[in-house]
Amino acid sequence: MNGTAWGPFGTNLAVAAAVSAAVLLVAFAVGTRLRLHRVVDVAWGVAFSAVAVATYVLSAGQGDPVRRLLVAAATILWGLRLSAHIARRARGHGEDPRYTALLDKAPGNRTWYALRTVYLLQAALVWLVSLPVQAASYAAAPVGVLGALGLALWAAGLCFEAVGDHQLARFKEDPANRGRIMDRGLWGWTRHPNYFGDSLVWWGLYLFACTSVSSALLSLVSPVLMTALLTVGSGKRLLERHMADRPGYAEYAARTSGFLPLPPRHHPSKPRR
């Protein structure tokens, strides 16, 4: 990896794995005590932020200082905003139906099944998805065109995600909207503005790591995996399955893009994917 110290970077990979596991194990302890495993969703953003902090500290004197600072700050801001939003959204609610359905299928002890299939799996995903954050922090090259483009993409994604979350929260606060489908603002252009913004964030962070061919190839798994999780994994697919029977959702889905923001179709003939 040109311009990157393999030894310190390898150490960082090990520390990042330990940090992500530690955060998710704490979340497991809290979730088990509260009997509320949806706390893992709050821990998701916190774990990325913790990995970014650990990486920033460990990479001191190894990578370009500006690149290190930008990548760490971008990851921490994204992670803590997401965790705070999910915590506010979940306040006063019970268990997430996704986790109830998953744990109802547990072949043995539900608690240990949750540890394996929810918490440790997410710890591994945090480590894997955070590869661009780690690789970029050990790159000696100064921030160039790709880094500037990555920052712009990250900012656009964060804004899209935050605005979409805010619009949906305001919509749900109004009692007059109970039982209705949110189809205003960004939600009129894509059924999942928060997921689309999340994907942009990680493609932006990936560009920070594209300082060499080897670094780019190593980090590519991150945005590809995150986009897959959001579209065909536990994000869009499961949410739309849950929403499918809601009155008006079929019509909304027929006129609104499933992921990429596109002008709404006023006279739909079939659902747009």
Amino acid at 241: R
A 10 A CB-CB count for 79 gives 23
CA–CA separation, 191 and 205 (whole Å): 24
Q: pTM of this prediction?
A: 0.91
Query: Could you give the CA distance from residue 55 to residue 46 in angstroms, rounded to a whole number?
Result: 14
**HSE-CB for 220 with a 13 A CA cutoff:** 7
Q: What is the reported pLDDT for 2?
A: 47
Structure tokens at 272: 């747009």
Please give the C-alpha separations between residue 46 and each of 123, 125, 126, 236, in angstroms, as whole numbers: 11, 13, 10, 22
CB 219 within 8 A of CB 135: yes
What is the mean pLDDT for each group of 10 consecutive residues in the chain (273 residues)? 68 97 98 92 97 97 95 98 94 83 85 93 97 95 95 97 95 91 94 95 97 93 95 80 84 92 73 44
Q: Is residue 150 a contact partner of residue 206, using CB atoms and an 8 Å limit? A: yes
**What is the per-residue pLDDT for 154?**
98
**181: which DSSP letter?**
-
190 DSSP β-pair partners: 257
**Residue 150 to residue 201: CA distance in whole angstroms:** 9
Distance, CA of 234 to CA of 10 (rounded, Å): 30
Burial tier of 101 (Cβ tally within 10 Å: 0-12, 13-18, 19+):
exposed
Cα separation, 228 vs 235, in Å, equals: 9
pLDDT digits (tens, 9 = 90+) for 118-136: 999 999 999 999 999 999 9
15, 138, 217 from 12: Cα distances, Å: 5, 9, 18
